[in-house]
Structure 1
Amino acid sequence: MKRLLVTTLLACFLGICSLSHADEATQADAAVANILFEYDGSEEYASYKANDDGSVDLIFASNTPDKLYEDILTQLQNHPHISSVLASKGGPVCKLF
């Protein structure tokens, strides 16, 4: 009986930890989507991945204007649901610029 209780508690704890990580990724994903939505055509020059820990990896088109890149990056870095941002301008050239 004791073994069953310990096993059940351990399974619940692991399940809660998994949900916590999924929630962080979901919140980070929503934050990035909302920020990028404010910029017309961002789906053409930016792609991203929200990670389980709430961090975000972004790749911008190599010809993204510096001001635009900096504006978006600053918003992402200051968002409370994003733990960290790893970004680069190493993507393919975008026809919008």
Structure 2
Amino acid sequence: MKTRLLGVLLCCLLSVGMLHADEQSQADAAVANTLFDYDGSEEYATYKVNDDGSVDLIFASNTPDKLYEDILTQLQSHPHISSVLASKGGPVCKLF
């Protein structure tokens, strides 16, 4: 009985861990795909996706407001991203 209960508990813990990994990978793909649509984004934006599907995003300090707003709007409305924390605090980008 104890072995069976332990097995069920272990399965529950593993499924929770896999759920977080899935949330993170889906959010990561969403950010990568969104940034891919903007030429040169690897020059002016860096990001980190957290376990819960939230995204920390840093843009170059001279990123045009319109571009910044467009990308943020897309990311904030994406169903696989739980939240976005963004700033324009990165180094100046030569593209702008």
TM-score, shorter chain, exceeding 0.5: yes
Count of matched residue pairs:
96
Distance in 1 between the 2:92 and 2:2 partners? 59
Match of 1:20 in 2: 19
Q: In the alignment, is residue 66 of structure 1 matched against residue 70 of structure 2?
A: no
Counterpart of 1:30 in 2: which secondary structure? helix
Following TM superposition, by how much is the alpha carbon of 1:38 offset from its aligned partner in structure 2, in angstroms? Answer: 0.3
Structure 1: which 5+ residue stretches go unaligned? none
Match of 2:90 in 1: 91
Match of 2:39 in 1: 40
User: TM-score normalised to the size of structure 2?
Assistant: 0.98
Counterpart of 1:81 in 2: which secondary structure? coil
Following TM superposition, by how much is the alpha carbon of 1:89 offset from its aligned partner in structure 2, in angstroms? Answer: 0.4
Following TM superposition, by how much is the alpha carbon of 1:61 offset from its aligned partner in structure 2, in angstroms? Answer: 0.4
Alignment RMSD: 0.5
Distance in 2 between the 1:57 and 1:23 partners? 18
Counterpart of 1:70 in 2: which secondary structure? helix
Q: In the alignment, is residue 80 of structure 1 matched against residue 79 of structure 2?
A: yes
User: After the TM superposition, which segments of 4 or more aligned residues of structure 1 sit over 4 Å from their partners?
Assistant: none
Structure 2: which 5+ residue stretches go unaligned? none
Match of 2:56 in 1: 57
Q: Which residue identity does 1:74 align to in structure 2?
A: T
Following TM superposition, by how much is the alpha carbon of 1:14 offset from its aligned partner in structure 2, in angstroms? Answer: 0.3
Match of 1:6 in 2: 5
Q: Which residue identity does 2:84 align to in structure 1?
A: V
Distance in 2 between the 1:3 and 1:93 partners? 60
Distance in 2 between the 1:88 and 1:32 partners? 15
